[in-house]
Amino acid sequence: MLVLVAPGQGAQTPGFLTPWLDLPGVEDRLRALSAAVDLDLVHYGTKADADEIRDTAVAQPLLVAAGLVSATALGEVSPGAVAGHSVGEITAAVLAGVLDDTAALTLVRKRGLAMAEAAAITATGMSALLGGDPETTIPHLKKLGLTPANVNGAGQIVAAGTLEQLAALEADKPEGVRRVVALKVAGAFHTEHMGPAVDALAEAARELTPADPQLTYISNKDGKAVATGAEVLDRLVGQVANPVRWDLCMETFKELGVTALLEVCPGGTLTGLAKRALPGVKTLALKTPDDLDAARELIAEHANA
């Protein structure tokens, strides 16, 4: 069984969309999506530097657009399930038939803007913890007032909170944690600090008419499959202020009997986690069109397994 997954913010790198524009129809599609959200996705995906595409309001629509064009380039795909990490959940919603391209880009553009505005209210950030055990690390973070914003499995946890709280974490690491690495993000995503963004996103979501998923859609909230489009949309709204439980998503992959995981562009992060947490599951990350042939072979072997 194949699961198709989409990465979240931080996966983007300067120029990562450049080789994809050589494929027929990709530039036209990106320009159409750019017009729909008043953001030059072609420029940001090919010419912009790291600082420009780190901007939350830019990175999020850019990632969703990249995931969609790379998934389309695969041709006919029938995965057993789909999932996305953080903003990648919106990509997954399109892959599952819940939203169309334009609705998804409109929603993610408003999501990025709202999260950027929320992040500007208080000086906050996120830090990745290297090493340690979740049973020890999570209580320690809560003691410091921090949120385990991304519980990614494979021993990886990302803490989020105020800069003062993150500084306290540097000085007082949980037992077993070797290093605390500050992430280059604009704020404490997936925490209470994103509360204002929830309200803005809820207003945007009311303008959409989601369809029910045509594929098994696994949610970051609790790793559970979601049966209705209305619930998918509701979870997409609430998730901006709640932790990403990718560990639970991967537990569900195990329960479903997933034998292969394919990560759409810009792939790499989720396949890396899967290699450590899902032994025996074949993985492949779409980075450039050069990966398409291998991806199609993986699909042929596992899509109906």
Count of residues in the chain: 305
How is 223-237 classified by DSSP, letter by letter? S-EE--HHHHHHHHH
User: Is 43 a known active-site residue?
Assistant: no
- Among residues 34, 70, 86, 219, the one annotated as catalytic is 86
> Checking phi first, is residue 155 left (phi over 0); if not, alpha (psi -120 to 50) or beta?
left
Nearest alpha-carbon partner for 239 in 297, 280, 299, 190: 190
Question: Position 57: which residue type?
Answer: A
Determine the Cα–Cα distance for residues 266 and 285; give it in Å rounded to an integer: 8
- Among residues 34, 127, 140, 190, the one annotated as catalytic is 190
Alpha helices by DSSP H, the chain: 26-37, 41-46, 50-54, 56-73, 88-95, 101-119, 134-143, 163-171, 195-205, 229-239, 246-256, 269-277, 292-302
User: Is 34 a known active-site residue?
Assistant: no
**Per-residue CA distances from 100 to 1, 91, 97, 173, 293 (Å):** 25, 10, 7, 44, 26
Determine the Cα–Cα distance for residues 188 and 147; give it in Å rounded to an integer: 9
Catalytic residues, by residue number, are 86, 190
